[in-house]
Amino acid sequence: MLPAPSLAPATAQRPIPDGRAGQNWSRTNPRQEPQQLRVLFVEDQPADVELARRALREHGFDVQGCAVQDPDQFLNEIRKGVYDIVLADYNLPQWNGMEAVSLLRREGLDIPVILVTGALEEARAVECLKDGAADYLLKEHLTRLPESIRQALREKKLREDNKRSQQELARSNRELEQFAYVASHDLQEPLRMIASYTQLIADRYRGKLDDKADRYIHYAVDGATRMQALIDDLLTFSRVGRQGLALQNSDCNEAIEIACKNLENAIRETGAQVEHDRLPVIVADGRLLVQLFQNLISNSIKFRGTEAPHIQISAEKQKREWIFAVTDNGIGIAPEHAQSIFGIFKRLHTHDEYPGSGIGLSICKKIVEHHGGRIWVESAPGRGATFKVVLASLLAKHKQEKLP
C-alpha cells in the first residue's frame, strides 16, 4: 500500500499536489506535452486519490484539483472552481457519490461524473449510467481510467458543440423572423397604394382602350392584389409565436367551433360538412389553436374533389399525448410531397387552379412546433388526406402561464 497523502479537512479543502517530480507519463508519448486536467475527487481515502492521480499522470495528464467528502464541500468547490471531470466513489460514509450528478444538474453545470468504486453490482451500475453518470469502473481496473476520461471529455465537447449550433440556429431563426416581420410590415403601405391606384385605373379606363390595354390593366391589378395577399400571409407567419405562448387549458371543441364560424362563408358556398368527436382540453395557446384548426379545415375545403367537402376531426390519447386527425375526402397528396407541403410558400398547383400563397400549412407546422408537437400528413392522390397533429395532454396547474 502506498503511503496515504493527507486530505484537506471538511472545512478547508486544499489542492492535491500535482506530483510532477518523477512523473513517468512521458513513456506514453515522450514528445507530447502533458494535458492539464482539473479533477474534483469525491473520495474519503487519500490512498485511492493518489492511485487515480498516478494512473492519469502515467498517461499524459497533468492533474490538478482537490478532494471532497460531503455535499457541502462539493457544492463549495464547483461554485468557486472550474473542473473538467468529477471522479466519485459510489459509497461514502456521509453521502452517495451519485448525488454529485444531481447537484451538478441542479447547478446547471455539465461536468462529467465517472464512478470509481471498490464494488458495484452490474445492474446498479447500469442504473447509474441511466441517471447521468458518464462511466463507471472498479478501483482495481484503474488502467481504464485515462481512456474513460478522454471519452467523457469528447462527449462533453460534442454536447457543447451541439448546444452552440442550436443557439446559433435559434439566433438565426429569430433574425429571419424579425426580417420577415419588418419587411412585410413596411411593404404593406406602398403595396396598398399600388393596388389602390391600379384598381382606380381599371375602374376608369376598362373598356375605353383597346383589348391589350384592358389585359395589361388586369395583369397589373391581379399582380398587385396577389402581392398584397402574399405580404399579409408573410406577416401572419412571422407573427406566430413572436409574443410567446399564452398557455392555458384550451378546449379543442370550442377552438373548432370558432374556426368554423370564421370559415362560415367558405363552408356555406362549398356545402362542406365539418364534424368532430368529443375532443379533449389541452394545454395550448387558445388563439393559435383556433388558427391551427382553421388552416387545416380551410386547406381541406380548398383542395376538395368533385363531391362536397366532408371533414372529420378526431383525437386519440396515447400515454402523455393526444394525436389529432383531420381527415377529408379531397384530391389527396402524392407521398413524395408529404414533407415539402409544409414549407413556406410551397405550392403543388398553379394559382389559377387553386388560389392562395401556399403558406397555410407552414403556419400550422410553426404553431405545432411552438407547442413542442409534431405534424404530418397521410395521403394518396384521389383518396383524400389525413393531417395528424401530436400535442401534449397535460393540463396546466394554473389558469394561465406565460412562456417566453
For the chain, the average pLDDT equals 81
Closest by Cα among 69, 68, 50, 10 to 139: 50
pLDDT given at position 24 = 41
pLDDT given at position 31 = 57
Averaged pLDDT for residues 306-318: 93
* Helices of type H across 81-210: 99-107, 122-130, 145-205
Task: Assess if residue 259 is contained within a domain.
Answer: yes
The 10s digit of each residue's pLDDT in 12-32 is 444 444 433 333 444 445 556
The verdict on 135 and 252 lying in the same domain is no
Closest by Cα among 40, 47, 113 to 77: 40
- For cell 367551433, the residue is 257
Averaged pLDDT for residues 222-226: 78
Task: Assess if residue 392 is contained within a domain.
Answer: yes
The verdict on 249 and 397 lying in the same domain is yes
Averaged pLDDT for residues 319-342: 89
**Three-class SS state of 114:** strand
Task: Assess if residue 8 is contained within a domain.
Answer: no
The verdict on 100 and 248 lying in the same domain is no
Task: Assess if residue 313 is contained within a domain.
Answer: yes
Give yes or no for residue 10 having a pLDDT over 90.
no
Task: Assess if residue 11 is contained within a domain.
Answer: no
The verdict on 39 and 135 lying in the same domain is yes
**Burial class of residue 123, CB neighbours in 10 A (0-12, 13-18, 19+):** exposed
pLDDT band at 344 (very low <50, low <70, confident <90, very high): confident
The 10s digit of each residue's pLDDT in 86-109 is 999 888 887 877 888 999 989 999
pLDDT band at 340 (very low <50, low <70, confident <90, very high): confident
Percentage with pLDDT > 70 across the chain: 80
Task: Assess if residue 130 is contained within a domain.
Answer: yes
- 136 versus 290: the higher-pLDDT residue is 290
DSSP 253-308: HHHHHHHHHHTHHHHHHHT-EEEE--PPEEEEEHHHHHHHHHHHHHHHHHT--SSP
- For cell 402524392, the residue is 334
Give the number of other CB atoms < 10 A from CB of residue 289: 22
pLDDT given at position 395 = 63
**Sheet containing 61-68: which strands, arranged edge to edge?**
61-68, 35-42, 85-88, 113-117, 135-138
Closest by Cα among 13, 10, 58, 68 to 37: 58
C-alpha 116: how far from its chain's center? 34
pLDDT given at position 279 = 94
Averaged pLDDT for residues 283-305: 91
Residue at a domain's end among 133, 162, 191: 162
The verdict on 288 and 381 lying in the same domain is yes
pLDDT given at position 210 = 84
pLDDT given at position 348 = 61
Containing structural domain, residue 120: 33-162
Quote the CA–CA distance of 296 and 313 in Å, as a whole number.
Answer: 10
pLDDT given at position 27 = 45
Q: What is the CATH number of the domain that holds 73?
A: 3.40.50.2300
Residue at a domain's end among 139, 162, 185: 162
Averaged pLDDT for residues 295-315: 92
Give yes or no for residue 170 having a pLDDT over 70.
yes
Give yes or no for residue 3 having a pLDDT over 50.
no
Residue at a domain's end among 162, 184, 206: 162
- 53 versus 31: the higher-pLDDT residue is 53
Choice among 175-179, 272-276, 362-366 with the minimum mean pLDDT: 175-179
Cβ–Cβ under 8 Å, residues 318 and 393 = no
Task: Assess if residue 169 is contained within a domain.
Answer: no
The verdict on 404 and 267 lying in the same domain is yes
Percentage with pLDDT > 90 across the chain: 32
Cβ–Cβ under 8 Å, residues 59 and 35 = no
The verdict on 256 and 368 lying in the same domain is yes
Averaged pLDDT for residues 345-365: 68
The verdict on 115 and 248 lying in the same domain is no
The verdict on 377 and 255 lying in the same domain is yes
The verdict on 255 and 155 lying in the same domain is no
The answer, as to whether pTM is greater than 0.75, is: no
pLDDT given at position 231 = 73
Q: What is the CATH number of the domain that holds 357?
A: 3.30.565.10
Give yes or no for residue 142 having a pLDDT over 50.
yes
The 10s digit of each residue's pLDDT in 242-271 is 666 788 899 999 999 999 999 999 999 999
Averaged pLDDT for residues 215-227: 81
The 10s digit of each residue's pLDDT in 174-216 is 777 676 666 666 776 777 788 788 888 888 887 888 888 888 8
The total of structural domains in the chain comes to 2
Give yes or no for residue 404 having a pLDDT over 60.
no
Give yes or no for residue 153 having a pLDDT over 70.
yes
Between the alpha carbon of residue 370 and those of residues 24, 26, 105, 171, 365, the distances in Å are: 56, 54, 25, 15, 8
Give yes or no for residue 367 having a pLDDT over 70.
yes
Task: Assess if residue 220 is contained within a domain.
Answer: no
Residue count of the chain: 404
